[in-house]
Amino acid sequence: MKLKQVKKYYAGYILAFIFIAALGIRLYFAFQTPYFSSDDAYFSLRQIDEITSTGTPLYNDDLSYGGRLFMFPPLFHYILAFFNLFLPLGFVAKVLPNIFASSLIIITYYLAKNITKDKVAALYVAGIAGFIPIFFYKTVNSVSPYSLAVPLAAYAIYCFVKLHTEKKYAYFLLISVSCLTFVHASAVLLAIALVLYLVLLKTENIKEIPAEIEIVLFSSLLVIWFLLIIYKQALLSENIGIVFQNIPSQIIGKYFQNITVLGAIAKIGLVPFVYGIVTIYRYLFRSKTKFSYLFISFAMTIGLLLLLKAIPISAGLMFLGMILTILYSMHIVHFKGFVKKTKLARLRPFMMISLSFTLLMTQFLPTLVFANQEMALAPAENEAQAFRWIEENTHPASTILSIIEDGHKITYISKRKNVIDSNFLNAGDTDRIFEDIKTTYTTQYKTLAMEALDKYSIDYIYFSQDVKDEFGIEKLRYADDDPRCFKPAYEVGEGKEKITIYKVLCRIEESKISDRR
């Protein structure tokens, strides 16, 4: 009897093992450092702190860009703030996003199983979903809304599939779409893909059920309405430029770079990428099934937006990796059926073992390599010391100059005003701001630097190896030449680890430099 139960529930045991293993590996990486790899994580930490303390997000911020209005969906931060009521924030920020991200394993398993009716194919997909390289390393040590947004999108697709057999999933779909909209603006991908799905059905003369049309239209309008409410002011000020999020044109390539096949393969995984594309080709031009068009519409939407540079490449590849992974389950079923008809049927167990080894080499190991690289981006102890020194030794109204990647660290750890950070929407003329920062770091002329320092009321200049790498410089030339105006107030580390914080002691007044002491 016990053996029968094991055989009956083997898929559940394996799925639980995959989930626990993936979560365990994630937490192993996350707890290697008390800090976070992404500067955006410190923005999330500020919002969680604020919600825990006051019950509302920090929309009007006096520190970011010296004072501005934030616009963002707050649900992700509310969820973490709830757990922060009775658990330490450091623990919540490390553990909860990784649990959210690992839930993609369970969702993709049931989604693939529902589509293919094959437990083995679904288990392979679940294993891959746990180790999609870009999704793993972008969420393992970063308090990122994507850790919840990608699983929510997968669950919304699952509800849409189940809608064909159980009408109650219409309510679950609407709830998941609403939650996704208040977690991240990427909900618009879901709306566009569902509309494209209906278009594809019409072009292929495939009959849709009335509930599909109603739910797609209602969901799409819901997403658009909510996002209009959240980003109304940005739309009024940026117009169509909101697509590029007001990112400075000098660095926009970092966010909307060209997608290459090799780059996509490395960050999604060789097997799901290749066979996901093969499956799209098969079902788009040969076999035509209803559900295949659902996933094809998602892949086409993401691919088109990536080519148009309308979404950041990292975000696009995370969602594309999830979709191609699910499509791969359909390929496994097709392949198993093909083998069963040939004389190779007796070799099927060996083929499955070979597939497992291939996935280990091309999916699991690259994920670990990328994760190690991501962990190296977390602040070193000397950086944390420098940011803490700023909090402890500068006036609360001080403004600190540094690069974009340090902006949220300055506002969260140092609790001081920054000049720029990675929240560009509604931040004014970011092109001008970035150019002024670049001039301040690269010019050899004190008068040019002083103009920018005075313009933004900068009190301290943060100078590190990251600053050197960003602008291709070795030192702050005018500061080293004039200790009367630029005093090294704090230094820590040696060589490439060295960080210097300069205190600005002069200002421009009536076209001449005078002491500011």
**Block mean pLDDT (10 aa), the chain, length 517:** 53 91 96 93 95 93 90 94 95 97 96 90 92 95 95 95 87 93 91 91 81 88 88 70 74 72 87 89 77 89 85 91 92 74 64 76 90 92 94 94 94 95 86 92 88 91 92 85 85 87 79 43
Measured distance CA(312)–CA(161) in Å, rounded: 28
Share in percent of the chain as helix, strand, coil (round to 5): 70, 5, 25
DSSP string, 140-198: TTS--THHHHHHHHHHHHHHHHHTTT-TTHHHHHHHHHHHHHTT-TTHHHHHHHHHHHH
Burial class (CB in 10 A: 0-12, 13-18, 19+), 184: buried
* CA proximity to 186, closest of 143, 238, 151: 151
Measured distance CA(249)–CA(138) in Å, rounded: 24
Measured distance CA(310)–CA(314) in Å, rounded: 12
Measured distance CA(200)–CA(292) in Å, rounded: 11
C-alpha separations of 255 from 248, 249, 258 in Å = 10, 10, 10
**How long a stretch of residues is the chain?**
517
Identify whether the C-beta of residue 238 lies closer than 8 Å to the C-beta of residue 193.
no
* CA proximity to 302, closest of 160, 222, 193, 223: 193
Measured distance CA(196)–CA(198) in Å, rounded: 5
* CA proximity to 102, closest of 13, 189, 16: 16
Compute the radius of gyration of the chain from its Cα atoms. Answer: 26
Handedness of CA 435, 440, 443, 447 (dihedral sign): positive
Q: What are phi and psi of 401, to 5 degrees?
A: -90, 130
Half-sphere exposure in the Cβ direction for 161 (13 Å, CA) = 24
Please name the residue ranges forming H helices in 286-312. 290-307
Identify whether the C-beta of residue 155 lies closer than 8 Å to the C-beta of residue 108.
no
* CA proximity to 56, closest of 37, 74, 38: 74
Both structure tokens of 114: 């529902």
- Please give, one letter per residue, the 3-state secondary structure of 135-149: HHHHHCCCCCCHHHH
Domains and their CATH numbers in the chain: 2-30+71-375 (no CATH), 381-515 (3.40.50)
Please name the residue ranges forming H helices in 365-414. 365-375, 381-393, 407-409
**pLDDT given at position 3:** 43
**pLDDT given at position 512:** 45
- Tokens 């969602």 sit on residue: 319
* CA proximity to 403, closest of 294, 248, 297, 287: 248
**pLDDT given at position 513:** 43
Instruction: State the greatest distance between any 2 C-alpha atoms of the chain, in Å, as a whole number.
Output: 92
Q: What is the DSSP letter of 406?
A: G
DSSP string, 83-121: HHTTS-HHHHHHHHHHHHHHHHHHHHHHHHHHHH--HHH
Identify whether the C-beta of residue 133 lies closer than 8 Å to the C-beta of residue 266.
yes
Identify whether the C-beta of residue 464 lies closer than 8 Å to the C-beta of residue 499.
yes
Identify whether the C-beta of residue 450 lies closer than 8 Å to the C-beta of residue 464.
no
- Tokens 């219409």 sit on residue: 170
**Backbone region of residue 236 per phi and psi (left: phi > 0; alpha: psi in -120 to 50; beta: other values):** alpha
Q: What is the DSSP letter of 69?
A: E
DSSP string, 310-335: -S-HHHHHHHHHHHHHHHHHHHHHHH
Measured distance CA(149)–CA(131) in Å, rounded: 17
Identify whether the C-beta of residue 366 lies closer than 8 Å to the C-beta of residue 133.
yes
